[in-house]
């Protein structure tokens, strides 16, 4: 006996219907265009593996550029460039101690974002 063919299900609505109550609830909660744009820029800035590694490392420990370069396997120049971009978006801050600049996350929001992101990815792997 042959198996029945699998039915192909479209991933779009087959009727044109808008649930006005749901849409209004979401519209009230929707963030401003400026906030959405700023978050998109933050995600874009964190869009590369090196910057993710830098941010993750700084979520664990305050580190200097030399430590970060060693950890992520990049030059000090490349790490400094990434840190400058992260600092401009107020994701990291630094302090000087003598000739050494120590970096840490500006606040816990990015650490939480990374933890949630890695939690999601680790469930998929």
Flag whether 4 is in a domain.
no
Residue-wise pLDDT tens digits, 38-80: 999 999 999 999 999 999 999 999 999 999 999 999 999 999 9
| 17 located within any domain | no
Asked if the structure places residue 102 within a domain, the reply is: yes
Count of structural domains within the chain: 1
> Residue 70: inside a domain, yes or no?
yes
Domain of 103, CATH number, reads 1.10.10.10
The answer to the question of residue 84 being in a domain is yes
Confidence of residue 1 (pLDDT cuts 50, 70, 90): low
pLDDT (0 to 100) of residue 117: 94
18 domain residue, yes or no: no
Residue 10 in domain? no
- pLDDT bucket at 91, cuts 50 / 70 / 90: very high
**Is residue 13 over pLDDT 70?**
yes
- Alpha-carbon distance of 73 to 67, in angstroms, equals 10
Q: Is residue 6 part of a domain?
A: no
Kindly report which listed range (10-14, 19-23, 63-67, 116-120) carries the lowest average pLDDT score. Answer: 10-14
DSSP strand pairing (100-105 vs 63-64): antiparallel
Domain residues for 37? Answer: 32-124
Quick check: 66 and 99 in contact, CB under 8 A? no
pLDDT of residue 5 exceeding 60:
no
Q: What number of helices (H) and strands (E) belong to the chain?
A: 6, 3
Of 88, 93, 103, 94, which is closest to residue 42 (Cα–Cα)?
88
């Amino acid at each position: 006996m042959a198996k029945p063919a699998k039915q192909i299900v479209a991933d779009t609505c087959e009727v044109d219907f808008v649930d006005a109550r749901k849409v209004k609830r979401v519209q009230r909660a929707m963030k401003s265009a400026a906030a959405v744009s700023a978050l998109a820029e933050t995600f874009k800035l964190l869009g590369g593996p090196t910057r993710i590694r830098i941010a993750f490392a700084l979520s664990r420990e305050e580190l200097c550029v030399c430590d970060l370069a060693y950890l992520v396997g990049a030059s000090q120049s490349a790490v400094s460039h990434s840190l400058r971009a992260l600092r401009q978006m107020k994701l990291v801050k630094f302090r000087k101690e003598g000739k050494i600049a120590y970096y840490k996350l500006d606040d816990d929001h990015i650490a939480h974002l990374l933890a949630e992101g890695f939690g999601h990815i680790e469930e998929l792997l």
